Amino acid sequence: MEQKDYILREIEKMAAILGAIRQKLFGGSDNLSLTVEKQAEDTKEMLLIEADFDLDKFMMSDTAEGNAYISGLKGFNVENLEVLAECVAQIGFNCNSGLSGVYFEKALQLYEYCNDKSKTFSSEREEKIEAIKNLCHKK
pLDDT digits (tens), the chain, 139 positions: 677 778 888 888 888 888 877 777 666 545 544 576 777 788 889 899 988 999 999 999 999 999 999 999 988 999 999 999 998 998 888 877 778 899 999 999 999 999 999 989 999 999 999 999 988 876 5
Q: How many CB atoms lie within 10 A of CB 33?
A: 6
Q: How many domains does the chain have?
A: 1
**Owning domain of residue 84:** 2-138
Q: Please tell me the distance from the alpha carbon of residue 45 to that of residue 37, in angstroms, as a whole number.
A: 12
pTM of the model: 0.81
Q: Are 35 and 68 in contact (CB under 8 A)?
A: no
Angle formed at CA 56 by CA 54 and CA 62, multiple of 5 degrees: 100
CA dist., res. 115 & res. 109, Å (int): 10
Question: Which pLDDT value is given to residue 115?
Answer: 95
Give the whole-angstrom CA distance, residue 8 versus residue 12: 6
Q: What is the pLDDT of residue 27?
A: 66
